[in-house]
A and B are shown apart, each in its own frame.
Chain A
Amino acid sequence: MVATLTEQLKAPDMRSDEAVHSSSCEFSGARILIEASLREGVDTIFGYPGGAVLHIYDELTKNQHRLRHILARHEQGAVHMAEGYAKATGRVGVALVTSGPGATNAITGIANAFMDSTPLVVITGQVPRKMIGSDAFQEVDTVGITRPCTKYNYLVREASEMAEVVREAFHLAGTGRPGPVVIDIPKDVTAEQAVFVYPEKVDLPGYCPNKRVEYEQVEQALEKIERAKRPILYVGGGVIHANGSAELLRLAEKLCLPVTPTLMGLGCFPSGHPLYLGMLGMHGTYWANMAISESDLIVAIGVRFDDRVTGALEKFAPQAQIIHVDVDPSSVSKNVRAHVPLVGDAKSVMQQMLDCHDAETEARPLGTAAMAHTKALADGRATPPEERLAAWWRQIEEWKQFAPLTYENSDEVIKPQFLCEELYRLTGGDAIIATDVGQHQMWLAQYYGFNGPRQSITSGGLGAMGFGFPAAVGAQLAFPDRQVIAFVGDGGFQMTAQELATAVQYKTNTKIIVMNNNYLGMVRQWQELFYDGTYSAVGMDGSPDFVKLAEAYGAVGLRASKPSELSAVLERGLSMPGVVVMDIVVTAEENVYPMIPPGAGLKEMVLG
């Protein structure tokens, strides 16, 4: 009774408060979604409309002066574009799709972003709350389907939750180990009115993305590096996500360490640098794979010891101690046991290492290991890195001489490796290049050199064909004035070629190079090598004329079939404004070497 009286007494005040709020900012769920996204700095949404997201699209049109919407031609394309945008900029990419088939079509992109740690927020429409679970038209359990391939996902149950959910989603997508976050919104929630309050901060007690590495651990790691006789830096996408390229360069140079990147790490270290060994792994360089196999200390930064990198685990780098730096504790010692686990963001851990190293060389009495080392250097018992590692570098140089990357060029047919080299020559390694998955992706990794981070955009973990072209469109929309190239195979291009319409509609300058061998080349290579040359379902006869296809979309189509035509076609195509498809007809049956056969160790490379 007392409580009721108190409530009655308080009630008028509360009402007047609410009145102030509602008159100023009571919005529909759709409007709150847009307002909150704008506060997160979103400037572009890649999407495809449908029944469940009509309220959101209505609101988008009202806000088109503040927020650009890019209409893809398939939801998979929309999500890949958002990925390309995110990878090129380092910001969170945003995609918007409808319920049911809209959501299922988006899954490949979501799973791809999950595997490659790409920050993404994917907004999916859902049937109205009352109809959930009734097998309604275009209903699918999006939260259930996306649970295992998202960093987190939400079902928004009320418009009043919307702002908080959006705030959290962007925070989760972009921090720690980045990844995709799905926000599933029932249609009636987008119409429901609620007070818009943008939360100042997020409340996620179980989420601590910024773990600090203890100074002593860094010191211990550095001590190992400074004592190692055959050390190597094995670096990956984590360095790029953390924007740690500058720190990596300084660390490698100060300690004179050889650097080998993963596919996802391409560009995190300049490819022309003398410390650079090229990519390691299944199609890595001979000397990078030999160096990692023979090393006594692997400094792994922002990598996850993927099976395409390690080969057979029991044969992987048997003599090496492993220092593993990763922002995700569950990645450390997942596949290969780390002797020194350092859980933290790649950039800050490398900065700590540099600080620790500088402190030593300045002989500031910071730690016992540092002091001991400085003393040893002074006494002449220790050697500076260049001398200590001279034999190691000589060995690496020998491996390099023994099996350099080579191919037999031809006057008759365009060799795919030659295509990659020409592309490198013409772009100077400064273009943003998005690839699909397969032979062309591996040759580009081998024969093209990326100068900097966020220039290589590829589908690594999921290995999704059809990724490259829409990803390039997304990157191009983020950087309209940069040279952005989709480097794709004839198979993968046909999986998402419909996005030519998007590239043309938004007047992009995206260039598409189709490395056309009229085969699903990597599958063919495996069938040649491991199935006695029995080719099963790999011939691509029936492919369209890619020049005419480009023209049908209002783009320009060019073709080179002979080596003598290649440079002119590439030069013309790359310098032309607008969307250009370059159909480059290459050797039909060329294999990617070196290659580590499945189940073999890194040293058991087939050199070709």
Chain B
Amino acid sequence: MRHTLAILVENRFGELARIVGLFSARGNNIESLTVAETLEPKISRMTLVTSGDDLAVEKLVRQVDKQIRVLSVVDLTRLDHIEREMVLVHVKAEAGDQRLEVMRLAGVFEAKVIDVSENGVTVEAVGERYKVEALLRSLQPFGIRELARAGTLAIGRLPAAAAAEEVRESIAVG
């Protein structure tokens, strides 16, 4: 089963290797990994996607948690959470019908064309994984020159009460 972990770790050299090493030493593949600093530059947040049975992943989570510089780790998988992926893709598209068709498709997927060259366009898409994959499948017939795909980003959903409060506030502001 696919597990999405959110990890807060001190932003120091070597810490990423320490965490990744726990997975490789146990023969677990990391399907995707994104790391960036948080509002507090001394702390990074990682979103790590791996697969394995629940018990194996639970043990891994505890090993991650045991790391000296790890502040917290949460397996978001069974919690209410939101996942997003981002992709940048160069698509072959001569000026004319082809390009219009690519742009139309991008529109369907709420993706953006962010760069245009003589014989191609660059599309940026953000969304749930299945959606990003569907976009890539529909762009494939045109010819994909290059593809850069960010790993999964994930965040827990706000608790219901807090979310309701947020909505009320946004309505009030709106």
Q: Which residues of A contact B (CB under 8 A)?
A: 143-144, 147-148, 151-152, 155, 172, 204-207, 328-330, 334
With A148-B25, A330-B62 known, 11 other A-B pairs at CB within 8 A are A143-B14, A151-B68, A152-B68, A155-B13, A205-B10, A205-B71, A206-B10, A206-B70, A206-B71, A329-B62, A334-B62
Interface of A is mostly: mixed
Residues of A within 8 A of B9 (CB): 206
Cβ of B168 < 8 Å from any Cβ of A?
no
| B62 and A148 contacting across the interface, CB-CB below 8 Å | no
| A206 and B63 contacting across the interface, CB-CB below 8 Å | no
Residues of A within 8 A of B71 (CB): 205-206
How far is B21's CA from A144's CA once the two chains are assembled, in angstroms? 10
Say yes or no: A206-B14 contact (C-beta < 8 A), given A147-B21, A330-B59: no
How far is B71's CA from A148's CA once the two chains are assembled, in angstroms? 19
How far is B152's CA from A501's CA once the two chains are assembled, in angstroms? 59
Q: Which of B25, B59, B69 contacts A334 (CB 8 A)?
A: B59
How far is B59's CA from A334's CA once the two chains are assembled, in angstroms? 7
Residues of A within 8 A of B13 (CB): 155
Residues of B within 8 A of A205 (CB): 10, 71
Number of A-B contacts (CB under 8 A): 36
| A148 and B14 contacting across the interface, CB-CB below 8 Å | no
How far is B67's CA from A172's CA once the two chains are assembled, in angstroms? 11
In the complex formed, the residue of B with least CB distance to A155 is B14
Q: Which of A155, A204, A328 contacts B66 (CB 8 A)?
A: A328
Q: Which of B17, B21, B62, B67 contacts A206 (CB 8 A)?
A: B67
Give min CB distance, B56 to chain A, whole Å: 11
Give min CB distance, B42 to chain A, whole Å: 9
Closest 4 CB pairs of A and B: A330-B62, A206-B71, A330-B66, A152-B68
| A329 and B18 contacting across the interface, CB-CB below 8 Å | no
Residues of B within 8 A of A144 (CB): 17
Cβ of B83 < 8 Å from any Cβ of A?
no
| B69 and A206 contacting across the interface, CB-CB below 8 Å | yes
Q: Which of A147, A172, A329 contacts B17 (CB 8 A)?
A: A147
Residues of B within 8 A of A155 (CB): 13-14
Residues of A within 8 A of B62 (CB): 329-330, 334
How far is B26's CA from A148's CA once the two chains are assembled, in angstroms? 11
B interface size (C-beta, 8 A): 18
List B66-103 residues whose CB lies under 8 Å from chain A: 66-71
In the complex formed, the residue of B with least CB distance to A332 is B62
Residues of B within 8 A of A329 (CB): 62, 65-66
Q: Which of B14, B18, B59, B68 contacts A204 (CB 8 A)?
A: B68
Give min CB distance, A327 to chain B, whole Å: 11
How far is B84's CA from A202's CA once the two chains are assembled, in angstroms? 38
Say yes or no: A206-B25 contact (C-beta < 8 A), given A147-B17, A330-B62, A334-B59: no
Give min CB distance, B47 to chain A, whole Å: 18
Residues of B within 8 A of A330 (CB): 59, 62-63, 65-66
Residues of B within 8 A of A148 (CB): 21, 25
A-B CB contact pairs (8 Å), 25 listed: A144-B17, A147-B17, A147-B18, A147-B21, A148-B25, A151-B68, A152-B68, A155-B13, A155-B14, A172-B68, A204-B69, A205-B10, A205-B71, A206-B9, A206-B68, A206-B69, A206-B70, A206-B71, A207-B68, A329-B62, A330-B59, A330-B63, A330-B65, A334-B59, A334-B62
Give min CB distance, A168 to chain B, whole Å: 9
How far is B68's CA from A205's CA once the two chains are assembled, in angstroms? 9
In the complex formed, the residue of A with least CB distance to B14 is A143
How far is B70's CA from A330's CA once the two chains are assembled, in angstroms? 14
Give min CB distance, A289 to chain B, whole Å: 26
In the complex formed, the residue of A with least CB distance to B15 is A206
Residues of A within 8 A of B67 (CB): 206
How far is B66's CA from A334's CA once the two chains are assembled, in angstroms? 13
Give min CB distance, B102 to chain A, whole Å: 44
Residues of A within 8 A of B65 (CB): 329-330
In the complex formed, the residue of A with least CB distance to B64 is A330
How far is B17's CA from A206's CA once the two chains are assembled, in angstroms? 17
How far is B62's CA from A205's CA once the two chains are assembled, in angstroms? 17
Give min CB distance, A162 to chain B, whole Å: 16
Residues of B within 8 A of A204 (CB): 68-69
Give min CB distance, A119 to chain B, whole Å: 15
The proximity string for B residues 50-63 relative to A, scoring 1 for CB distances below 8 Å and 0 otherwise, is 00000000010011
Residues of A within 8 A of B25 (CB): 148
Give min CB distance, A121 to chain B, whole Å: 14
Give min CB distance, B37 to chain A, whole Å: 16
How far is B67's CA from A152's CA once the two chains are assembled, in angstroms? 8
Give min CB distance, B66 to chain A, whole Å: 5
List B124-154 residues whose CB lies under 8 Å from chain A: none
